[in-house]
Amino acid sequence: MNTFLTAINQISDQTNLLALNANIEASRAGEAGAGFAVVANEVKKLAQECSNTVKQIDEIIHNIKRKTQLVVEKATNGSEAVQEGKAISIQVLESFDNIKSTFEHIDQYIAKELDMTDQMSLIFNRVRQQVDHISNISQKHAAATEDVLATTQEQKSNMDVIYEFMGKINHSSIRLQDLIAENTK
């Protein structure tokens, strides 16, 4: 019994840790992780409920052991003790049935939560892939913008050189016209 309780406590602790990690990932995801934060809180509540149930079961087992000890002591005192032991044994059996039912419920609940945790993990991976994809597109866009800017600056430099040459040609043309005009007079 103690082995089962220890195992359930470990599962509860692990589930609580998963809830904490899910909350961290949800925080990192920002608005996209808001829904995951709700799920993470529910998983945390489940872990707490499991822990509380294990404590209750441990108390029940402790009470059962104590009552069983009382039965043994009273059984040595006669038939009245035997009757009382019978009643306590029935209570013990009922308690074990309740414990069994509780364990089955916990097992189903944990299975459901583990499935939900797997689904959360898949969703986080998809979100991470989408963020990576958007980041890659942004980097490509930034690189293309830098290329366009560099090309534009190069064309401006070329235009400045052309304007400079055109100014020189214009100046030379005016001088040539002046020389022609002076020589034709």
| Reported confidence tier of residue 1, pLDDT bands at 50, 70, 90 | low
pLDDT for the residue numbered 41: 79
Longest dimension (CA), the chain: 156
Q: Closest by alpha carbon to 42, among 59, 23, 62?
A: 23
Q: What is the pLDDT of residues 19-40, one digit of tens each?
A: 778 788 778 877 777 777 787 7
Alpha helix ranges (H) inside 32-183: 34-75, 79-183
Distances (CA, A) of 139 to 8, 61, 133: 48, 62, 10
Q: What's the DSSP call for residue 78?
A: -
Summary mean pLDDT of the chain? 83
Mean pLDDT of 170-182: 85
Q: What is the pLDDT of residues 105-126, one digit of tens each?
A: 888 888 887 888 888 888 888 9
- Rounded-to-integer distance, Cα 181 and Cα 174, Å: 10
- Rounded-to-integer distance, Cα 133 and Cα 56, Å: 49
Q: Is the pTM of this model over 0.75?
A: no
Q: What is the pLDDT of residues 50-93, one digit of tens each?
A: 888 888 888 888 888 888 888 777 766 666 756 777 888 898 88
Three-point CA angle 110, 101, 43, nearest 5°? 20
Mean pLDDT of 2-6: 72
- Rounded-to-integer distance, Cα 30 and Cα 140, Å: 24
All structural domains of the chain with their residue ranges: 2-150
